Structure 1
Amino acid sequence: MKIPKPIQRGSSWRITVTFENKRYTATRDTAKECEHWASLKLLELKTGRSELIQGIKPAYPFRQLCEKYFQEHGRHMRSARTILIKIKNLDRIAPNIADKSIYDFKPTDIALWRNNRKKVVKVATLRNEHAIYSAIFTYAMKELFLIESNVWHTVAMPGKEKSRNQRITPEQQNKLLEALGWNGLITPVDPKQYVAWAFLFALETAMRQGEILAMRREDLRDGFVHLPMTKNGESRNVPLSKEAKRLISILPLNNELVPISKHICCMAWIRAKKKANLAQINFHDSRHEAITRMVKVRKLPVEVLAKITGHKTIGILINTYYNPDAQDLVEMFNDSES
């Protein structure tokens, strides 16, 4: 059956397919997305109609469900990029279930996937992939009404690994800046230098990489930056230190403060830490370092610190992100006696 041509309506596109005198319509951001939806819809209708009449469930490959989930739901989420990567790489991540019908999934299939996957990735990655694929089955159950239960819920995942406590020393900081080709004083002019700027800004504010990349000049206030949307779905105000204000002052007067994408930022960071021989340092470790410095230098109480960092659970803030070394504890203990 020939795929109809999408029709542009304002900034979006609309497509309609007809099957057995019934019309099915969808609206998407691009013509290509419309055509993709139409091809999946027609396949779904043509392969399933006669068998459904007989009470037989047609094969519904997991891959097809993943694509439908992303188009209908996942692409609108803040984690859309991660979800898309896990779906596009199904053949590598989950070869034993990629083309298996969702009606034929058994706990043993998922347990086999889990056991094979944990041999090649960290537990955190495995748990993240399990959560995404499980959410896709929940979508099939609660939104599409294709299945009655989520088989992913029946398979136990490994417990969380010990939280990272990686700190960033001044020497490591300087090596990373050198690898990124920036001295911290001049206006950034290329992507690598903007990554270096974001790194220093993170050390001053404890902001996440994504929050820094999303900043706009209109978000700057008198002494703080307003984040209209953060990872936990809420807004947040982050106070700016003198150094953070200085870093902002050397940027060009554009509305987009850091004009690079997350992908470019990640790739530049990976190359820089390899060049600096600091493979163990993640960009997110800057958040650990910044929070620990805030406690040590500014003596901020935990309830104030949580407001700055956006942590709703104090336990996570204290046990995961606050990473004092033994000397830090000794100094704070002695300061309390003076």
Structure 2
Amino acid sequence: MKIPKPRKRGDSYRIELMFEGKRISATRDTEKECEQWAALKLLELKTGKALDEKGIKPQLPFKQLCEKYYIERGSKLKSAYVIRSKLDNIDKILGELATKSIYDFTPNDIVRWRNKRVLEVQSSTALREFAMFSAIFSYAEKELFLLDSNVWTKVVKPLKGKPRSQRITAEDQEKIFKRSKWDNQTAPYYSQHYVGWSLLFALETAMRQGEILSMRREHLRDGYIHLPMTKNGESRDVPLSAEAKRLISLLPDENDFLVPVKVKTFKRTWIRMRDEAGLNHINFHDTRHEAITRMVKNRKLPVEVLAKITGHRTIGILINTYYNPDAQDLVEMFNSSES
């Protein structure tokens, strides 16, 4: 059956299918999403009906379930970009499990995948992938009612691994910033200028990449910036240092989004600049570690105040994961406390 062409309705698209005299429709944000939904729905209807009559479970490849999950749920989450990136590489990540029917998954399949995956990537990456795939199976169980249980919950997750403690030295900062080709005195113009600007701003504020890219001019206040929605689902007010205020003053007044760069472009530009500097072991998120450590060292902020600025609900995570003093920092703070 040929998939019908979606019709534009306002800011969205609508597509309609006819199956055995019944009309089925869906509304999505783009034509492509409509067509993906229609292809999956037709396959479900055709295979499901034929096999249901025989009491046989239809073959449903895991990657197909993943696409349905993304269309129905994942695309609406804050982590949509991350989920999409994983699904675009699902054959590489999952190997033969990508095309295996969800009804044929066994705990041993997942154990073998887990043990292989932790040798290929960091344990934290394997853990995030494990959690995402488990969530997709839970979706199939509790929302689609395709499964009686989630087989991923019967397997021990990958170990969390040691928290990342990468610092960004002044030399590292300068090497990466130099690749932005921005003078730090005039308004940024190109994407690489804005990435350089964001590097400096993140080191002043400890803000996440996503928070920086979502900043709008209406969020600016006198002495701070208001973040209406953050990663933990709550709003946060971030005080601005004199340097952070100076950086903001350089941005064009017409910018609604203070950093008008798309997520994919930002990430691609950051990786290129970082790699050109010979620092491919550094992630943009490491600016958060560095900024928090500098705040403690230079501003002597008490931990409860620091947690309000950074948005950490759990003090232990803030101290043990994001505060990363080196030995010399500890020596200086220890000696200064005696004076």
> Is TM more than 0.5 here?
yes
Shifted more, 5-14 versus 83-92: the winner is 5-14
Q: 1:133-212 maps to which residues of 2 (within 5 A)? A: 133-212=133-212
2:241 is aligned to: 241
Structure 1 contact 306–317 (Cα < 8 Å) conserved: yes
Structure 1 contact 16–23 (Cα < 8 Å) conserved: yes
Structure 1 contact 177–183 (Cα < 8 Å) conserved: no
Q: 1:1-338 maps to which residues of 2 (within 5 A)? A: 1-253=1-253, 254-338=255-339
Q: Distance in 2 between matches of 1:224 and 1:11?
A: 34
Equivalent residue of 1:192, what SS?
helix
Number of residue pairs the alignment of both structures matches: 338
Q: Distance in 1 between matches of 2:111 and 2:172?
A: 41
Aligned-pair CA distance for 1:99: 1.2
Q: Distance in 1 between matches of 2:332 and 2:183?
A: 31
For residues 27-57 of structure 1, the C-alpha deviation after alignment (integer angstroms, 9 at most, x for no partner) is 1112232122112111111111022123221
Q: Which amino acid aligns with 2:122?
A: K
TM-score normalised according to structure 2 size: 0.96
Structure 2 contact 66–87 (Cα < 8 Å) conserved: yes
Q: Which amino acid aligns with 2:104?
A: D
Q: Which amino acid aligns with 2:79?
A: S
Q: Which amino acid aligns with 1:174?
A: E
Shifted more, 311-320 versus 57-66: the winner is 57-66
Q: Supply the RMSD in Å over aligned alpha carbons.
A: 1.3
For residues 200-250 of structure 1, the C-alpha deviation after alignment (integer angstroms, 9 at most, x for no partner) is 000000000111111111110111001111111111110000000000001
Aligned-pair CA distance for 1:69: 0.3
For residues 60-109 of structure 1, the C-alpha deviation after alignment (integer angstroms, 9 at most, x for no partner) is 11111111000000000011111112112121111211111111110111
Structure 1 contact 211–230 (Cα < 8 Å) conserved: yes
Q: Distance in 2 between matches of 1:16 and 1:265?
A: 37
Q: Distance in 2 between matches of 1:86 and 1:170?
A: 33
Task: State the 4+ residue runs in structure 1 displaced beyond 3 angstroms.
Answer: none
Equivalent residue of 1:144, what SS?
coil
Aligned-pair CA distance for 1:119: 2.4
Q: Which amino acid aligns with 1:159?
A: L
Shifted more, 223-232 versus 262-271: the winner is 262-271
Shifted more, 191-200 versus 110-119: the winner is 110-119
Aligned-pair CA distance for 1:17: 1.5
Aligned-pair CA distance for 1:333: 1.9
Equivalent residue of 1:226, what SS?
strand
Identity of aligned residues (%): 64
Structure 1 contact 213–260 (Cα < 8 Å) conserved: yes
Equivalent residue of 1:163, what SS?
coil
Shifted more, 62-71 versus 278-287: the winner is 278-287
Q: Which amino acid aligns with 1:183?
A: D
Structure 2 contact 114–158 (Cα < 8 Å) conserved: no
5+ residue gaps, structure 1: none
For residues 160-205 of structure 1, the C-alpha deviation after alignment (integer angstroms, 9 at most, x for no partner) is 1211222222222112111221232222121111101000000000
Q: Distance in 2 between matches of 1:8 and 1:230?
A: 32
Shifted more, 10-19 versus 317-326: the winner is 10-19
Q: Distance in 2 between matches of 1:15 and 1:280?
A: 46
Aligned-pair CA distance for 1:144: 0.3
Equivalent residue of 1:96, what SS?
helix
Equivalent residue of 2:98, what SS?
coil
